Amino acid sequence: MAPNIAKAAISLYILTFNCGKALIDIDAVASQLFSGLSTPKLPDLLVLSLQEIAPIPQCLIGGSFLVPYFSRFHQAVEKASRKASGSTSGDDGLIYHPVAARNLGMTGIMVFAKDPAAVSDVETGGVGVGMAEMGNKGAIGVRFTYHGNGTSTELAFVAAHLAPMEWGLERRNEDWENIVRGLIFSSKSTDRKNIETSTSAEERPLLSISPRDASIFKPTSHLFFAGDLNYRTSSMSPSPTDHKDTFPQPHHDRSSPQHFSKLFENDQLNQERLAGRTCHGLIEALVTFPPTYKYDPKEPYLTPDEDLSKWHWAKHRWPSWCDRILYLDIPSWVKRAHPEAKIVTHKYSALPLWPTSDHRAVALDLSVPLLPIPQPKEDEQGDDPRIHPPFEVNVDWKTKRERARVLELVVGFAMYFTTTLEGGGVTVAMVLGAIGAFFAIRAMLEM
CA distance 312 to 296: 5
Q: Which amino acid is it at 13?
A: Y
Q: DSSP string of 339-393?
A: TT---EEEEEEEPPPPTT-SS--EEEEEEEE-S--PPPPTT--S--TTTS-SSPP
Q: Which amino acid is it at 247?
A: F
| pLDDT value of position 93 | 80
- Say if CB 129 and CB 138 are below 8 A apart: yes
* Residue 339, CA distances (Å) to 13, 164, 227, 275, 343 in order: 24, 41, 31, 28, 12
Strand 9-18 to 45-51 pairing: parallel
Q: 421 Cβ partners below 8 Å, 6+ apart? A: none
Over residues 30-57, the mean pLDDT reads 98
| pLDDT of 118 higher than 90 | yes
426/63: higher pLDDT: 63
| pLDDT value of position 280 | 98
CB atoms within 10 A of CB 404: 23
Summarised one tens digit per residue, pLDDT across range 332-349 is: 999 999 999 999 999 999
**Dihedral sign from CA coordinates of 13, 14, 17, 19:** positive
What predicted TM-score, i.e. pTM, was given to this entire model? 0.91
- Say if CB 216 and CB 158 are below 8 A apart: yes
| pLDDT of 119 higher than 90 | yes
* Cα torsion through 338, 342, 343, 345, rounded to 10: -170
Over residues 51-62, the mean pLDDT reads 97
Phi, psi angle pair for 345, to nearest 5°: -90, 120
- Say if CB 139 and CB 125 are below 8 A apart: no
Mean pLDDT for all residues in the chain? 91
Summarised one tens digit per residue, pLDDT across range 135-149 is: 999 999 999 999 999
Q: Which residues of 7-42 are buried (b: 16+ CB within 10 A; e: fewer)?
A: eebbbbbbbbbbbbbeebbbebbbbbbbbbbeeeeb
| pLDDT value of position 206 | 45
Q: DSSP string of 96-140?
A: SEEEEEEEETTEEEEEEES-GGGEEEEEEEEEE-SGGG-TTSEEE
Over residues 28-41, the mean pLDDT reads 98
Q: Tabulate helix, strand, coil % of the chain (nearest 5).
A: 30, 20, 50
Checking phi first, is residue 105 left (phi over 0); if not, alpha (psi -120 to 50) or beta?
A: left
CB atoms within 10 A of CB 293: 22
Q: What angle do CA 442, 446, 447 make, to 5 degrees?
A: 120
- Entry field: residues in the chain: 447
Phi, psi angle pair for 216, to nearest 5°: -70, -20
CA distance 344 to 346: 6
107/378: higher pLDDT: 107
| pLDDT value of position 210 | 77
CA distance 340 to 385: 22
Quick one: pLDDT band at residue 422, thresholds 50, 70, 90?
Answer: confident
Q: 70 Cβ partners below 8 Å, 6+ apart? A: 53, 101, 103, 108, 110, 199
DSSP 8-state code for residue 240:
T
CA distance 136 to 141: 16
Quick one: pLDDT band at residue 1, thresholds 50, 70, 90?
Answer: very low
CA distance 185 to 207: 8
CA distance 404 to 401: 5
Residue 157 CA to its chain's centroid (Å): 8
Summarised one tens digit per residue, pLDDT across range 175-233 is: 999 999 999 998 754 444 444 445 544 444 444 467 889 999 999 999 999 999 999 99
Among candidate residues 179, 293, 276, the one with its CA nearest the CA of residue 231 = 293
| pLDDT of 437 higher than 70 | no
